Structure 1
Amino acid sequence: MSIYSKILVVANLNSDEQPALARAVQLAKQSQSRSQICLFLSIYDFSYDMTSMLSHEERDAMRRGVIQQREEWMREIAAPHLDDSFDFSVQVVWHNRPYIAIVEEVFAGKHDIIIKATRKHDILESVIFTPTDWHLLRKCPVPVLLVKNAHWPEDANIIASVHVGSESQTHIDLNDGIVTQLDSLTQRLGAKGYLVNAYPVTPANITIELPEFDPATYTDAVRGHHLTAMKALRQKHGYAEEQTIVEQGLPEDIIPQVSSELNAAMVILGTTGRTGLSAVFIGNTAEHVIDKINCDVMALKPNGYISPFDPEHS
């Protein structure tokens, strides 16, 4: 079972409502060991660094004053969520790139998970102007839980998007990691878990290029392969057949569809660390899924992923 003994919560600067903190407290209270929650905020004001009329010491004093004000505000908004069942702290840093500050704190504080509130981004914002959420999905080494709603429903369902059609060891290990997270979260949050897999549609151009090709036979073979692989995965982890769903289509279409049908409160999926132009213009399945569903999303990295901000590999 995943421990989540050290939880890093990214504070929402624009609201006194803190759904990410509420979710962190839920997880901490169900932990078998005492958890630590750190409410974290990265702030920056360009004008403080460009005021030539002030000395370096005066600018530092102004920054410290702003940081202290934010720390006091964070303790105030956190107060209704706190009790004696876990340890709590706040931390504010001065940094002009929030996602770098967050990932650096993951390494410095050895945190197990990041929890952050999110919202639906428009197309331009998610494709061209990469927000902090996308950077964390690509570059954070620990699980990232993006929280869309503060309220956790009773009798909730959590779905795990698995990729069972591949024989790649990376995908096999990632599937196991995703199901392990599903086990932990369903137990802690009192939810029911489902494994969901999408398999590809037969390309239309194949029937034109290969007249003897039988698309129906091919589709049946692909579906059979995915059903067999899903059976092996569910049996490995002790899931019932009715907790598995195998559908034809793209993951970014199937996962939101199943999420809506099951009224899922959370989706767990794997994500890769894209860089360069592919990250800007293509995005990946996790990012497309996040924009199409209205529930919490947890994104996991494959084993062996190395963050560009890992101090041991910089």
Structure 2
Amino acid sequence: MKKYNNILVVADVSQEHQPALSRAIHLASCGDNAKLTFFLSIYDFSYEMTSMLSAYERQAMRNGVIQQRELWLKELVEQHDVSGIDIEVKVVWHNRPYEAIIQQVFEGDHNLVIKATHAHDKLGSIIFTPTDWHLLRKCPCPVLLAKAHTWPEHGQILAAVNLAADDETHEDLNDKIVNEAKAVATLVNGEVNLVNAYPATPVNITIELPEFDHNTYADAVRGHHLVTMKALRQKHHIEQARAYVEEGLPEDVIPAVAEEIDAGLVVLGTIGRTGLSATFIGNTAEHTIDKLNCDLLALKPMGYISPLAPKID
């Protein structure tokens, strides 16, 4: 399996333990001819403000810091068994980490980015940094946000699909999500589960239309989703016992099912919203992943073009 054979691993300067590196080595060890790039973007504004120094001297100071960080990354790599894995360390000077990461994705033609996230001490949900959100919205390749735990053998992988929309874009994204979950399952000997949330009957309808039959409507909606789920799971050869169709909001249903089956990874799609809509509106994926207590693999729709893609003259 060569699906993830060119992985970009983002270092976390806040801790010695590197969950992203551990996860990348695990995935790479399951494939063939895997290459990892252990990557760090650093910046210190004080080095730009040293007016007493020449541009050459400032650059020399930056290079010194970069070399120190490269040595640190190499020391971290040496703590792992990386036999058979080609690992390169790379440190760049950039004031926007997410832009540096995405630029490296394009330059290195990486097919997966792995970055560590942090668990909330009390609730267990993931705490996302601004860099995480930018990557989820703008990174052209899949982004795996990892927590500090190991994936168990025969672990559970949950693919979150949207069966409410019948347009081709959503159907393609559903297939992509399931195929990606199956690819990971093949690598780590895991098991794929499907989950879909369908909406409850709107309260305003039952109030405004007294003759409205709530039960008939609810049964029809659930029936539609069950039929659509059956077609999807049969298409991908997934047994019925591993397909969940639940009433409620996706941001409630998906984390609940993930906890119920003790999922180590949730795979879902994100539309890559940017601008004001990203700031004030958000989307289902972003509301959902705030509540997850496991790793997340986020995918973009087919044909997605990152706003940070290199310009073609």
Q: Report the TM-score when normalising by structure 1.
A: 0.94
Aligned to 1:115: 114
Q: Secondary structure at the match of 1:47?
A: helix
Structure 1, unpaired ranges of 5+: 123-128
Quick one: structure 1 residues 278 and 313, their matched pair in 2 at CA, closer, same or farther if it must change by over 3 Å? farther
Read off the aligned partner of 2:49 and give its amino acid letter: M
**Using the alignment, how far apart are the partners of 1:211 and 1:224 within structure 2?**
23
Deviations 1:171-198 (A, max 9, x none): 1000111111111111111211100000
Question: Would you say how many aligned residue pairs link Structure 1 and Structure 2?
Answer: 307
8 A contact 1:19–1:149 mirrored in 2: yes
Partner SS for 2:118: coil
Trace 1:85-96 onto structure 2 (pairs within 5 A). 85-96=84-95
**Alpha-carbon separation, structure 2, partners of 1:227 and 1:268:** 20
2:291 aligned partner: 292
Map 1:223-238; keep pairs closer than 5 Å.
Answer: 223-238=222-237
**Aligned amino acid, residue 102 of structure 1:** I
- Counterpart amino acid of 1:108? E
Q: Which residue of 1 aligns with 2:9?
A: 9
Mapping of residues 170-189 of structure 1, within 5 Å: 170-189=169-188
1:16 is aligned with what amino acid? Answer: E
Q: Which residue of 2 aligns with 1:21?
A: 21
1:114-168 Cα shifts (integer Å, max 9, x gaps): 000012479xxxxxx9610000000001000000123222331110100122111
Name the SS of the counterpart of 1:283 in structure 2.
coil
Amino acid at match of 2:131: T
CA contact (8 A) 2:25 2:82 kept: no
Partners of 2:119 and 2:279 lie apart in 1 by: 17
Alignment of 1:71-220 (within 5 A): 71-120=70-119, 131-220=130-219
Cα distance in 2 between the residues matched to 1:108 and 1:116: 18
1:70 aligns with 2:74: no
Q: TM-score, normalised by structure 2?
A: 0.94
Q: Taking every aligned residue pair, what percent have the same amino acid on both sides?
A: 59
Partner in structure 2 of residue 277 of structure 1: 276
DSSP 3-state at the match of 1:81: coil
Q: Distance in 2 between matches of 1:218 and 1:313?
A: 51
Letter in 1 for 2:23: R
Q: Report the equivalent of 2:124.
A: none
Q: 2:246: which partner in 1? A: 247
Residue matched to 1:125: none
CA distance, structure 2, for counterparts of residue 8 and residue 25 of structure 1: 11
Superposed, 1:21-60 pairs within 5 Å as 21-31=21-31, 33-60=32-59
Distance in 1 of aligned mates of 2:149 and 2:63: 31
Gaps of at least 5 residues in structure 2 are 122-127
Report the Cα distance in structure 2 between the residues aligned to 1:313 and 1:217, rounded to whole angstroms.
54
Deviations 1:244-303 (A, max 9, x none): 000000110001100111111111000011122221122222222222121100000001
Q: Distance in 1 between matches of 2:237 and 2:278?
A: 36
Measure the CA separation in 1 of the matches of 2:153 and 2:35: 25
SS of the equivalent of 2:48 reads helix
* Conservation of the 8 A alpha-carbon contact between 1:2 and 1:184: no
Relative to 1, partners in 2 of residues 1:223 and 1:313: Cα closer, same or farther, differing over 3 Å?
A: farther
Aligned to 2:125: none
SS of residue in 1 equivalent to 2:79: helix
Whether contact under 8 Å (2:154, 2:188) holds in the other structure is no
Distance 1:61 1:121 in 2: 40
Deviates more, 1:283-292 or 1:74-83: 283-292
Instruction: Give the letter aligned to residue 164 of structure 1.
Output: L
